[in-house]
Structure 1
Amino acid sequence: MWSRRGRSLLLLFFLLFLLALPRLSSPQAFKETGESQEEITPALREEFREAEEAYREGEEERALILLKGFLKDHPFSPLSDDALLLLGRIYQERGEHEEAISSLSSFLRRYPSSPKLPEAKLALAKSYLATGREGLALGMAHELLPFCKERPELQLPLFLLLGEAYDRAGEPLLAISWYQKALEFASFEERASIKERMIALLDRELDPGVYWEVETTYPNTFLSLYARLKLAEIYLRRGEQKKAELILKGMKEEAEREGFQDFYADLWSRVKKGRGEVLLGCILPLSGRFRSLGEKVLRGILLGAGIFGPPSYPHVKLLLRDSGGSGENGREAYRVLRKEGVEAIIGPLLPQVAVAVLEEAEGDLPLLVLAPQARVEEKCAFYLALDLRSQIEELLEYACDRLGKTRFVIFYPNTPYGRESQRIFEELVPAYGGEVVAKATYGKDQTDFGDLIKGVFGKASSLGAVADALFVPDDYRRVCLLVPQLRFHEVEGLQLLGLSGWNSPRLTELCGRYAEGAVFTGGFSPDLPLPEVRSFRSSYEEAFGSSPSFLEALGYDAVRMILKVPEDDLCFELLTIRDFQGVTGIEGFLTTGEAVRRPYLFQVSDGKIHPLLPPF
């Protein structure tokens, strides 16, 4: 006979079993284990093959639609893992990394025993890295290392990913170690590309201890040689000519053999000649309504010159002249600085002042112009501001090639900036396979955009037939007045596109959810996951107690470019700069003086502004 206690326990177990039955028999149980409830029929295989074929033929949008439909109709088929993995890869190739992360994470949850798990983890790590989540990328990548023995094809892409991730995480020595491992599995062409990555890493302003470590860890290699050259460069900046000379002696033939002869020759000439104090002039608005802008640039210049923060060599002396907002003040400032014998002038910052100074300039004193939209055919003028054409090119490439948008509406302010932006956009869009289907202008102080919106889209827009993207070349304040009114007039689903005027933390504060998904250009963000930006931000915050913006970064890059080249003929030497790693993305100059740079792209996601870095 059962005791009372025994009967109670038996009843409890029976009740628990009954509660568990619905779960064990439900589709959810199959979903969590990744088990299939379908067989692979010819019809099922053909449905998946159609999506694969669309992808191979470059019809990414169609492939996405087919794959989503396949997963919806056949969530537990034997081909669902392939479909989910392909979906993630397509999103990744389009640069839509948040969607890629969602699809690939779902794959890992549903198919933890899949033979394609390594491919999914590698792809997920790449998207983590592309969205600035180096820690997650590194964790995922290290989980893959045990697979390399059985899957040797994983070694090269995995080691490259680890190198890139450690580089972005500010661990140059670990990055180099993984790049060095990647070299062992690379083809001849791939080796050249990996070496370029390693040289670019060493070209950053690293601590001397890092170069000494590289020199001793990789003896008799191009890494050791380049590390010694960088050490010599550091000693020259500090004014320690003798130490630089000791390093460079006897290196000429080795440098020529590895292709570093130009770098060596430049360092050796500086050793023999030396360089004393550098006298730089600045023309900035330090009074009046634009004073705050001028002070931002000046803080960046002071940091780059070593007056605040880490010291620089050669020693820099600055002569400041206040332009206010007046072209005549700018002309007078130029004349005074020229008489003072400055080697170069940084500024002006305001377009009207820049035009006046460029007209006054005699063509033999370098002008590093910071003003946007101020261009004069003038020898020895270099333009550091973001130009409209390169921004619009970058935006169109992403919108058309990555997002598949082809039908654009332009709303633009009736200002010189707005009209020029609209003109360039219309000029360039056909080359990217797109068209402008409508455009409309508005007043620079306009706040009600109802008539504008209804005039283009009608009272209840049939949006798919009209456009799939809206380009607004204005600043974030006006944009945040306009975009909520789109929703009010039932205009939804448009991809919002903008230029650097959108790039402000206040965009998400003022626009709220209406800016979600917007893509725009910019010249800088302190949150960019790049080593040179991290270093600049850290030094700036230590010196001034706040985060830098684009203007501070622009001033910082300007003075660093001047100090990078010999002082013999700065007009010529500045044109020789290549692969400069500016925090504003600047790499050098064209013969016209235009800056060579690829503007950064940003996207609003989950209410925050995130950088859109190129896919790994």
Structure 2
Amino acid sequence: MDANDETGKIGRGMSKMIRGTRLLLFAAALVFVTVNCAGIRTLITGEPHLRLDEVPREVRDIYSNAEKSFENRELEKAFAQYGQIIDYISQGPVVLWSHTRRGEILALKGDYEGSVRELRMVKQRFDDDPFYAEAQYHLARSYSALGQYSQSKKIAEVLLHQKLSSNRRIGLLTLLGDILLTENRPYDAFLRYMEALKEKPDKAMAEQIKSSVEDIVSRRLSLEEQTAAWDSYGSGYPVGYILYALMQSYYATGDVVNTKKYLKEYMTRFKDHPNYDDARALQDRFSAMEVVDRYALGCILPLSGQFAHFGSMALDSVALAAGVFDPLPGPLRIIVEDSRSDPETARERVVTLFSEHKVIGIIGPMGSMVATEAAREAQKLGVPIMTMTQLDEITTIGDYVFRNFLTAKMQIKTLVRYAVENLGMKSFAILYPEDSYGVRMMNLFWDEVIAAGGEIRGAEGYDKKKTDFSDEIKLLTGSAFNDDGDRKEVPQPVIDFDALFIPDSYARVSMIAPQLAFYDVTGIQLLGTNALNSPDLMKGENEYLYGTIFVDGFFLNSYYPAVRNFVDRFYVAYGREPTDVDALVYDAARVMVTCMTDSRIEVRNDLKEALEQLRNYPGVTGMTSFTDGDAEKSLSVLMIRNNDIIQVK
């Protein structure tokens, strides 16, 4: 071998050594990010401890190529190359390092069992062996990913007593924190995460750790543990989160003194904190609580004047709902004011209840004009008011205005749905009084039938003063016309509808029904409104009304236990049976009282939101929910049968 050949070999060897050294230096700064299926957080890996002179010359090229493949994320290729090193030589630092790398690659691919097998091949040569520590580090992570937390924790705790880089200490501390969370030990996890932050992790890692710290402090610590955290970390991070959590916990327990104590300190020190707006909302809430009596409920009724009788009856229902005879939990107070059936007086009573008695909500008043004026003032002052009026537009005044009443829309929707869905009817006719009530009901019924996929075959109106309805019946059935459309009586009526809707009182419907039979308009279903639900229905001969179906919100003889209980309690208390208005007022008051007895209802806005969110309240006038301030109810479907009224749904 001549000098030139030897020089060339040395040059090529030096070139390989320089390239390998560069690869090692580059890999030393390399950061790999991985989140495995068991929730292992981002960790910094790849801190080589192997010097190039520790690598046998015969495998240096393979080693350099393997490190390069690993650096380029060519994991399959790197795995095979490290395997070639292990096959070529049996022992030495490079073999230990190759097993470590292969274990790390398997973990990156999600094969944690394979990773464990590979890493366990790395044996400790001496105390503080860096190759063994690196392998154990990855072994702890893989055990954790497999759910073998006790083995993972045992390895991590041992490693923390050895000489480790800051990055490895951060990784182990956060790993222990994650494992402690799986053991439902949030405070111990919090301490581990705080230790990790002291090691000054990079920005990305610090953000991850802080996210865990903030979640624990905000949601997982008990009051005692929050207090311990406050004692240990009363200054610096994460004191803002600890203060906020203490404030929330004391508020949840009803400890207003300590809540205000920590709230005041938080508001003073942390004006730029993420939770500052929520803390300000709580501060505003305390201010609102000082001007409202959460146990005071106002009631405005006509207790004098021409409607005093109705007001007195309504007050009976309010008293029963408020627990006068069956005391409810909490010091509930009912403050009753007389509207005198006067709109301006009602408005003044709202102001009195709001400013002097600090009521959290108001029931009443009754009557369209009176209720409208009271509702406007209540909306202006921001106090929830539960009105009892037929006026549809009243809830459009604002979001503090509610109405609990049986509406025309409610009745028609229930009636048509039952006729179409339960009785299978598709075609309908309407015979209606030509007054505001009749015209409104006719239009609502027509629209609802069309919406349900049915059709209206005819509609005829009549004067309310009439007692002879022959003309209307003939026009409705076509018996007043011949085949050419000329007006001329023909013997047989044309009945091309399944049901006839008559929105009128019992007195008038009981006159119409026999005349329908007289003109051979038979075999059809009669439909009506709650105006049919009259005590007089049981007093006369009503064979022509048998089978008539109508709806109502309250049925005295309902088979529902809640209704039966209400009727019995009402009779025991007042010696009379409740009317439909009694039932509506009772439900209105009971809804308000039920919301008020919820410990979370502390200010007027709480009561408003509770009413808005109320769904399927089991009232005596049907299951009740509120949409845009208006009650929606599941009404009773009733039928006249043998001089009696029965509930069919």
Match of 1:492 in 2: 522
Preserved contact between residue 378 and residue 401 of structure 2 (Cα < 8 Å): no
Q: Distance in 1 between matches of 2:302 and 2:491?
A: 47
Match of 1:285 in 2: 302
Among 324, 330, 347, the residue aligned to 1:314: 330
Structure 1 residues 276 and 359, CA gap change in structure 2 (3 angstroms): closer
Match of 1:584 in 2: 621
For 1:313, the aligned partner's letter is: P
In the alignment, structure 1 residue 571 sits paired with structure 2 residue 608 = yes
Preserved contact between residue 541 and residue 643 of structure 2 (Cα < 8 Å): no
Q: Secondary structure at 2:543's aligned position in 1?
A: helix
Match of 2:567 in 1: 537
Preserved contact between residue 428 and residue 455 of structure 2 (Cα < 8 Å): yes
Match of 2:548 in 1: 518
Preserved contact between residue 314 and residue 563 of structure 1 (Cα < 8 Å): no
For 1:382, the aligned partner's letter is: F
Among 490, 493, 505, the residue aligned to 1:475: 505
1:260-339 correspondence runs (5 A): 278-307=295-324, 309-339=325-355
Q: How far has the Cα of 1:593 moved from its partner?
A: 0.9
Structure 1 residues 529 and 567, CA gap change in structure 2 (3 angstroms): farther
Match of 2:372 in 1: 355
Structure 1 residues 570 and 373, CA gap change in structure 2 (3 angstroms): same
Q: Distance in 2 between matches of 1:503 and 1:272?
A: 53
Q: How far has the Cα of 1:387 moved from its partner?
A: 2.2
Q: How far has the Cα of 1:289 moved from its partner?
A: 4.6
In the alignment, structure 1 residue 370 sits paired with structure 2 residue 391 = no
Among 593, 597, 605, the residue aligned to 2:641: 605
Q: Distance in 2 between matches of 1:361 and 1:416?
A: 29
Q: Distance in 2 between matches of 1:454 and 1:324?
A: 49
Query: What stretches of structure 1 of length at least 5 have no aligned partner?
Result: 1-249, 251-264
Q: How far has the Cα of 1:463 moved from its partner?
A: 4.9
CA displacement 1:156-208 (0-9 Å, x = unmatched): xxxxxxxxxxxxxxxxxxxxxxxxxxxxxxxxxxxxxxxxxxxxxxxxxxxxx
Q: Distance in 2 between matches of 1:333 and 1:399?
A: 45
Structure 1 residues 316 and 435, CA gap change in structure 2 (3 angstroms): same
CA displacement 1:125-147 (0-9 Å, x = unmatched): xxxxxxxxxxxxxxxxxxxxxxx
Q: How far has the Cα of 1:582 moved from its partner?
A: 1.0
Structure 1 residues 461 and 541, CA gap change in structure 2 (3 angstroms): farther
Q: How far has the Cα of 1:421 moved from its partner?
A: 1.6
Q: Distance in 2 between matches of 1:392 and 1:497?
A: 10
Q: Distance in 2 between matches of 1:525 and 1:410?
A: 25
Q: How far has the Cα of 1:446 moved from its partner?
A: 4.1
Q: Distance in 1 between matches of 2:533 and 2:614?
A: 28
Q: How far has the Cα of 1:428 moved from its partner?
A: 1.6
Structure 1 residues 270 and 417, CA gap change in structure 2 (3 angstroms): farther
1:148-297 correspondence runs (5 A): 278-297=295-314
Q: How far has the Cα of 1:346 moved from its partner?
A: 1.2
Q: How far has the Cα of 1:426 moved from its partner?
A: 1.2
In the alignment, structure 1 residue 380 sits paired with structure 2 residue 410 = no
Q: Distance in 2 between matches of 1:315 and 1:610?
A: 41
Preserved contact between residue 297 and residue 554 of structure 1 (Cα < 8 Å): no
Q: Distance in 2 between matches of 1:574 and 1:561?
A: 8
Structure 1 residues 284 and 400, CA gap change in structure 2 (3 angstroms): same
Preserved contact between residue 299 and residue 334 of structure 2 (Cα < 8 Å): yes
Q: How far has the Cα of 1:429 moved from its partner?
A: 0.7
Q: Distance in 2 between matches of 1:297 and 1:596?
A: 21
Q: Secondary structure at 2:335's aligned position in 1?
A: strand
For 2:303, the aligned partner's letter is: L
Q: Secondary structure at 2:445's aligned position in 1?
A: helix
Preserved contact between residue 351 and residue 374 of structure 1 (Cα < 8 Å): no
In the alignment, structure 1 residue 549 sits paired with structure 2 residue 579 = yes
Preserved contact between residue 349 and residue 370 of structure 1 (Cα < 8 Å): yes
Preserved contact between residue 355 and residue 375 of structure 1 (Cα < 8 Å): no
Q: Distance in 1 between matches of 2:583 and 2:568?
A: 12
Q: How far has the Cα of 1:603 moved from its partner?
A: 0.7
Preserved contact between residue 395 and residue 521 of structure 1 (Cα < 8 Å): yes
Match of 1:30 in 2: none
Match of 2:410 in 1: 390
Structure whose alpha-carbon radius of gyration is higher? 2
Q: Secondary structure at 2:366's aligned position in 1?
A: coil
Q: Distance in 2 between matches of 1:530 and 1:327?
A: 38
CA RMSD across the alignment: 3.0
Preserved contact between residue 477 and residue 510 of structure 1 (Cα < 8 Å): no
Q: Distance in 2 between matches of 1:315 and 1:421?
A: 44
For 2:389, the aligned partner's letter is: A
For 1:579, the aligned partner's letter is: N
Preserved contact between residue 293 and residue 359 of structure 2 (Cα < 8 Å): no
Structure 1 residues 442 and 282, CA gap change in structure 2 (3 angstroms): farther
Q: Which moves more between the two structures, 552-561 or 414-423?
A: 414-423
Q: Distance in 1 between matches of 2:529 and 2:254?
A: 44
Q: Secondary structure at 1:319's aligned position in 2?
A: strand
Count of matched residue pairs: 347
Q: Distance in 1 between matches of 2:553 and 2:491?
A: 35
For 1:334, the aligned partner's letter is: V
Preserved contact between residue 460 and residue 490 of structure 1 (Cα < 8 Å): no
Preserved contact between residue 277 and residue 315 of structure 1 (Cα < 8 Å): no
Q: Distance in 2 between matches of 1:291 and 1:446?
A: 34
Q: Distance in 1 between matches of 2:355 and 2:549?
A: 47
Structure 1 residues 473 and 321, CA gap change in structure 2 (3 angstroms): farther
Q: Distance in 2 between matches of 1:610 and 1:444?
A: 28
Preserved contact between residue 330 and residue 356 of structure 1 (Cα < 8 Å): yes
Structure 1 residues 390 and 374, CA gap change in structure 2 (3 angstroms): closer
Query: What stretches of structure 2 of length at least 5 have no aligned partner?
Result: 1-221, 223-247, 257-288, 480-488, 596-600
Q: How far has the Cα of 1:415 moved from its partner?
A: 2.9
Q: How far has the Cα of 1:400 moved from its partner?
A: 1.8
Structure 1 residues 491 and 306, CA gap change in structure 2 (3 angstroms): same
Match of 1:110 in 2: none
Task: Report the TM-score, using the length of structure 1 for normalisation.
Answer: 0.52
Q: How far has the Cα of 1:276 moved from its partner?
A: 7.3
Preserved contact between residue 284 and residue 323 of structure 1 (Cα < 8 Å): yes
Q: How far has the Cα of 1:555 moved from its partner?
A: 1.6
Preserved contact between residue 525 and residue 549 of structure 1 (Cα < 8 Å): no
Q: Distance in 1 between matches of 2:609 and 2:366?
A: 23
Structure 1 residues 480 and 353, CA gap change in structure 2 (3 angstroms): farther
Q: Secondary structure at 2:386's aligned position in 1?
A: strand
Q: How far has the Cα of 1:391 moved from its partner?
A: 1.8
Match of 1:154 in 2: none
Q: Distance in 1 between matches of 2:367 and 2:564?
A: 28
Q: Distance in 2 between matches of 1:510 and 1:433?
A: 37
Preserved contact between residue 328 and residue 356 of structure 1 (Cα < 8 Å): yes
CA displacement 1:384-418 (0-9 Å, x = unmatched): 11222232121112112222322212122233332
Q: Secondary structure at 2:495's aligned position in 1?
A: helix
Q: Secondary structure at 2:617's aligned position in 1?
A: coil
Q: How far has the Cα of 1:543 moved from its partner?
A: 0.6
Match of 1:434 in 2: 454
Structure 1 residues 491 and 359, CA gap change in structure 2 (3 angstroms): same
